[in-house]
Structure 1
Amino acid sequence: MGKSRTKRFKRPQFSPAGDCQAELAAAANGTELEEDDGPAAELLEKLQHPSAEVRECACAGLARLVQQRPALRGLARGGAVRRLGPLLLDPSLAVRETAAGALRNLSACGGFEVCDDMVAKDIMTPLVPLLRECSAGLDSNEAPPREEKEQSRSSVENIANEAVNVLWNICECSSRAVSIFTREGCLESVLKCLSRFPTNVDLAVSAAYCLQTVTEDNPELLRAFGAPALQVLEAAMRAPASSMAYILLKTLVAGTVWNLKDVIPSKSQAEIISAILRILSEVLDMDAGAVVIQMKEAETQRLRAAAETEERSENANGVGLTEDDEMEETPPRRRVRRKTMISDLLPPTNEELREATALLTAQQTALEIIVNVCCSEDPSDDEWEEELSSSDESEAFMESSLGDGGGQLLSPLCLSHETHAALTNLHIPGKVFEKTAFPSSAAVDVCSRSPTWKPLVRKMNTVQWRALVCLQSLVSLLEVEHLGGAPALQALAQHLSTLLFSQPDLAEHSDFLEAISGALRALLQTMAAKNIAQCMTPDQLMTLCRAGIQSGSVGVRVNVVSILGITGSVLAKEDGALETLKTIGCFLLEVATKDPSLVVVGEALDALFDVFADGSEAERASVQIRLLSALKEFQPVFKMKIRKEGKGRYSPDQLCVLDNVKTNLRRFVAYQETVEKRLAA
């Protein structure tokens, strides 16, 4: 089981101030860019203007422009990073903020390739001193007039927020950026931003995201966490959950502290682990659907009250109806217009939407952290290393582990006693199970009717998908009794089947299909190992597999052939399963010989080994589908594919597994030859 955070999710973006509407309008209309002219070139040129106001507006225009993919490519070629970078240290605080905002949007929209390029173009050189200056500014004890001091501090915090977001984005995409972060001592500056949580939760959340990223698998940085740094984290974890933003903050800090567990004194391990998982448990306890509905109703009431207040104000100022106006048809109620420009990538501009988004993000993050908690730190697979003599190949194959556990290529998961106890005592498996249900239909309906709230539907779905991935880890990890016993597993299997077959156009929902097929694979594996009766009918099984094998996701295809192997190996030990075994065998043979991915091919071959490793029904089925001749014909093709396609396309670990599958294929062919001879006699 690998780490869960393999995909970047959409980041909140910098929203430029409304002072530069002409520049923003020009940028917004610049969807067709030329190499040497157009809005991008004009804005880049204005970055060098002697007027700070012009530079600020140019940065704001670029912040908007980079959200358009054609413009993004043009700006990457046009040297935007090298021109924006120096403005991070511009004499004008407003220019610093908008330059950092443009870089934030560039790094969030551009993905891994752009972030790597930003590091290569030396963005860290101005970014690191900017963070240090912001850190010093947050601590400033100078005594200008109070109003001026507060305004200056607010500007510094705004700049720090944009800068930390740039740092977070590029560190998640670039190991070189993480190395620079560690070497240049950026930790102190980011911790200072985190410590502002009592007065500026947005800045603290950005810092917490950054810390969670840079502390993952970074032993060198972990050594820099002394007592003062740990105290800052502890204070943030203990912050009152006065809003959903603070709940998100506590969740992110819990993830950071989990990354730091190796540097925490052993005497405090149990207490810290319990505190981390308690926060995650409390986050999962919340009913996100109810909160979404509540927040949407609050927004509606607020907008209605604002409209009524504005109408009364206009009437009080004499802006009422004239006699002529009264003859006109009464116009519909005016809607309150937003003054800021909105896109899907911009952060919510109203408090209710921000609150709902923060809770859904916190639940998604909590589920991702639980998956990481469940990950084995030292994967190994000793069962593949056993050498078997060629003279005993058929007998050895019969006795190998392939007939026992579905030929799994994943190592068993393991947990410390403290983690195991906290997971079970806080009832986290049950809470994860609840989150695997489809989102509240009422909440989905409410969000679907509003363009600004509609993106939350995707977020609610993402929470469900993450819960399914998390469930997969927990089922693979915990003993049956800690999951509620055999009846609970059977109920869970029925629940997953209901979810699966209630989804129309199954093959089109790749994210959902990958998550639920992975959870079902782990559950069926556990049930098979404990001889617990399975619940999917052969027709349901084949419906799932036929839909899954059409998916463009390798993960989905691997899951469905593995499910076939697990279920087939159970059926092979029962009477009356001959026709089903023949159907399964033909399906797996087709996948093994036709799928374009060698990873899927290897899994399909493993599944064939599992299904036809033992049992009289399996032996008869293998002969009737001519399994031996098909595998003999495919054996040299498989060897050639590994040799020609392996290097460059597959990792060393994948090649090692494929090599083992090749070896087991040879052994299985030898075993099938003895089966056919015995049945022929």
Structure 2
Amino acid sequence: MGKSRTKRFKRPQFSPTGSCQAEAAAAANGAGEEEDDGPVAEFLEKLQHPSAEVRECACAGLARLVQQSPALPGLARRDAVRRLGPLLLDSSLAVRETAAGALRNLSACGGFEVCDDMVTKDIMTPLVALLKECSAGLDSNEMSPQEKKDQNRNATENIANEAVNVLWNICECSSRAVSIFNKEGCLEIVLKYLSRFSTNVDLAISVAYCLQTVTEDNPDLLKSFSATALHVLESAMVCPASSMEYILLKTLVAGTIWNLKDVIPSKSQAEIINAILKILSEVLEMDAVEVVVQMKEAETQRLKTAAETEDILHNANGDDLMEDEEMEEIPHKRKARKKTFISDLLPPTDKELRETIALLTAQQTALEIIVNMCCSEDPSDDEWEDLSSSDESDAFLETSFSESGGQLLSPLCLSHEIHTALTNFFIPKKVFEKTASPSSIAVDICSRHPPWKPLIRKMNTIQCRALVGLQSLVSLLDVDHLGGAPVLQTLALHLSQLLFAQPDFVKNADFLEAISSALRALLQTMASKSIPQCMTPDQLMSFCKASIHSSNVGVRVNVVSILGITGSVLAKEDGTLETLQTSKLRHKDWIRCRHILLNKTAL
């Protein structure tokens, strides 16, 4: 497996607020009952309405609608991108924000083809213009602390946040969008947004995501980074971690600075690498289970306090407070004010859930950065996907297997600075710890509360990223730096337990590829150092048979390599024949399993 790339993970999406929220939700809920793209046509028609409020509601409706796959073809047929584009520069700030939100959701839900089509339809022109206008608007609003709370200023930052998210999604999917980013000088604009991290962490996080994307494999952009630009990144990376969201920001900026390593003076390389890995180490050291428990308890207490406050207000007002229904029955009485509960004033997104998501995302990102640090010229994930046809993949596997004696991938190499930093900050130990299955306590808490349930998948993703990180570290570091032979044997036993503790592991493609990669690297290292293996022949055959029909080329590559490694080890041991016969792993069975894996079809 090659580099771990943050390509199409699920994106945070725009949610309409204000008077249009109910209308947008109703439209989305009823969309499936309409014929063809009726709701799409209705909303697109309203985009041209003279009333700004109607245009805003139409954009909000589209923002909800595009999250449903059946709506995407209708949006494409009716040229929604060209109709939404001009509204990014609408005279109404509310329309600008909701139009950017609709495009954000479209780019997040539509995938590579939709994003590429958005660039073809010239969405970058109004988008870049909007980013420049927001930047100019923030410059003109350099006021006193009290004036900084001005509604227009907040609206400008909200619009900028939505626009940056659109830019991030499109640049992640389209090289043409990245070229436009370079040409139009978007770097200076987004760095100005990032510099506001102390007052708007949400905007800063969006910019950090975008920068991490556009700085990867983009030498033209790297030349544009001045000392001032690097200072902005440095300031964000060393900012106080006052919340989990700031921890996420620091982690993302660390990933961006890693992408910039080629333009950093050689005399500063070691210092920068140490600063990056210090942040990653601190992120991985945090106990996610403890955070989940604490944050859920805090949320429960906050809601309980809010409910008690509501009861106190209700009892205090007593009979003096009337509902609208009562007033309709007594029209001659003076109308009483409506009840305003504390919960009505709380933010629409729970703070505790946001904080927990931020930490889990930071840990996932940290693991991905570590894998990227350790990557070599091995086939990347994209190249595995290119080996999709049976002929190409079979030829690749056969050639690799025969030429390498069962060890399909060559050992990786690592610079002295990175090697030293990895060991000084105990990165191997912290990555190993993250390979454990999600805590039953955290899973139980999240399972019992629907808004928290998606965090279970997030925790599973962290485990998979850690397994990929384990593979890289085992391939890179000396046995002594990994803790010696006893630690490797413990790891091997741990991976076997992880694998066979899940009877349906074959159904989890990500987990299967990650753990097979880790096992392959670990067994190869143990074999090279004559460290006794851990998998029994029966376990090996069970694993191989389960992986025979995997459609994932990477899984089959790993299993074929594991077969070769184990076979080489067994061939050097005394009494191998008896062991093989006892386990029914005869030579012909071995060849049959290998042949099936190579050809993806049962004999």
Q: CA deviation at 1:171?
A: 0.7
Alpha carbons of structure 1 residues 145 and 441: separation in structure 2 relative to 1, 3 Å: closer
Comparing 306-315 with 366-375, which one deviates more in the overlay?
A: 306-315
Distance of 1:207 and 1:539 partners within structure 2: 51
Alpha carbons of structure 1 residues 404 and 88: separation in structure 2 relative to 1, 3 Å: closer
**SS in structure 2 at match of 1:31:** helix
Alpha carbons of structure 1 residues 159 and 321: separation in structure 2 relative to 1, 3 Å: closer
Distance of 1:305 and 1:505 partners within structure 2: 43
Distance of 1:130 and 1:495 partners within structure 2: 52
Distance of 1:561 and 1:348 partners within structure 2: 51
Distance of 1:70 and 1:203 partners within structure 2: 31
Alignment of 1:542-553 (within 5 A): 542-553=541-552
Q: CA deviation at 1:592?
A: 5.3
Q: CA deviation at 1:533?
A: 0.7
Q: CA deviation at 1:567?
A: 0.5
Alignment of 1:514-593 (within 5 A): 514-578=513-577, 580=580, 583=585, 585-591=587-593, 593=595
Query: 1:139 is aligned with what amino acid?
Result: D
Distance of 2:453 and 2:529 partners within structure 1: 43
- Equivalent residues of 1:406, 1:525 under 8 A apart: no
Query: 2:32 is aligned with what amino acid?
Result: T
Distance of 2:31 and 2:560 partners within structure 1: 48
Give the structure 2 partner of residue 648 of structure 1.
none
Give the structure 2 partner of residue 205 of structure 1.
205
Query: 1:27 is aligned with what amino acid?
Result: A
Distance of 1:404 and 1:100 partners within structure 2: 53
Alpha carbons of structure 1 residues 369 and 319: separation in structure 2 relative to 1, 3 Å: farther
Give the structure 2 partner of residue 265 of structure 1.
265
Distance of 1:512 and 1:143 partners within structure 2: 52
Distance of 2:143 and 2:357 partners within structure 1: 38
Comparing 12-21 with 426-435, which one deviates more in the overlay?
A: 12-21
Alpha carbons of structure 1 residues 152 and 337: separation in structure 2 relative to 1, 3 Å: closer
Give the structure 1 partner of residue 428 of structure 2.
429
- Equivalent residues of 1:435, 1:467 under 8 A apart: yes
Give the structure 2 partner of residue 440 of structure 1.
439
- Equivalent residues of 1:561, 1:588 under 8 A apart: no
Deviation string 1:406-454 (CA, Å, 9 cap, x unpaired) is 4444343111111110000111000000000111111110000000000
Distance of 2:144 and 2:574 partners within structure 1: 88
Distance of 2:19 and 2:147 partners within structure 1: 22
CA-atom RMSD in angstroms: 2.7
Distance of 1:526 and 1:562 partners within structure 2: 12
- Equivalent residues of 1:367, 1:470 under 8 A apart: yes
Distance of 1:593 and 1:549 partners within structure 2: 10
For the pair 1:123 / 2:123, whether they are aligned, the reply is yes
User: Aligned pair count?
Assistant: 562
Comparing 433-442 with 75-84, which one deviates more in the overlay?
A: 75-84
Distance of 2:118 and 2:425 partners within structure 1: 43
Q: Which runs of 5+ in 2 are unaligned?
A: 323-340, 381-398
For the pair 1:166 / 2:166, whether they are aligned, the reply is yes
Q: CA deviation at 1:137?
A: 1.5
Query: 1:494 is aligned with what amino acid?
Result: L
Give the structure 1 partner of residue 27 of structure 2.
26
Alpha carbons of structure 1 residues 379 and 145: separation in structure 2 relative to 1, 3 Å: closer
Comparing 584-593 with 190-199, which one deviates more in the overlay?
A: 584-593
- Equivalent residues of 1:135, 1:193 under 8 A apart: yes
TM superposition score normalised by structure 2: 0.88
Deviation string 1:322-375 (CA, Å, 9 cap, x unpaired) is 9xxxxxxxxxxxxx99879xxxxxx98110000000000000000000000001
Distance of 1:359 and 1:571 partners within structure 2: 44
Q: Which runs of 5+ in 1 are unaligned?
A: 323-335, 341-346, 381-399, 605-629, 631-681
Q: CA deviation at 1:5?
A: 1.2
Query: 1:25 is aligned with what amino acid?
Result: A
Distance of 2:526 and 2:320 partners within structure 1: 73
Alpha carbons of structure 1 residues 143 and 569: separation in structure 2 relative to 1, 3 Å: closer
**SS in structure 1 at match of 2:3:** coil
Distance of 2:496 and 2:166 partners within structure 1: 43
For the pair 1:373 / 2:363, whether they are aligned, the reply is no
Query: 1:105 is aligned with what amino acid?
Result: N
Query: 2:436 is aligned with what amino acid?
Result: A
**SS in structure 2 at match of 1:317:** helix
Q: CA deviation at 1:199?
A: 0.4
Give the structure 1 partner of residue 220 of structure 2.
220
Query: 2:592 is aligned with what amino acid?
Result: E
Deviation string 1:287-325 (CA, Å, 9 cap, x unpaired) is 001101100010001111111111111111116999xxx
- Equivalent residues of 2:428, 2:482 under 8 A apart: yes
Deviation string 1:147-199 (CA, Å, 9 cap, x unpaired) is 58621110010000000000000111111111111111110111111111000
Give the structure 2 partner of residue 278 of structure 1.
278
Give the structure 1 partner of residue 108 of structure 2.
108
Give the structure 1 partner of residue 490 of structure 2.
491
- Equivalent residues of 2:208, 2:253 under 8 A apart: yes
Distance of 1:204 and 1:212 partners within structure 2: 12
- Equivalent residues of 1:32, 1:70 under 8 A apart: no
Query: 1:41 is aligned with what amino acid?
Result: A
Distance of 2:348 and 2:182 partners within structure 1: 32
- Equivalent residues of 2:157, 2:203 under 8 A apart: yes
Comparing 175-184 with 221-230, which one deviates more in the overlay?
A: 175-184
**SS in structure 1 at match of 2:31:** coil
Q: CA deviation at 1:57?
A: 0.4
- Equivalent residues of 2:2, 2:379 under 8 A apart: no
Deviation string 1:198-250 (CA, Å, 9 cap, x unpaired) is 00000000000000000000000000000010000000001001000000000
Distance of 1:264 and 1:4 partners within structure 2: 23
Alpha carbons of structure 1 residues 506 and 100: separation in structure 2 relative to 1, 3 Å: same
Distance of 1:224 and 1:133 partners within structure 2: 21
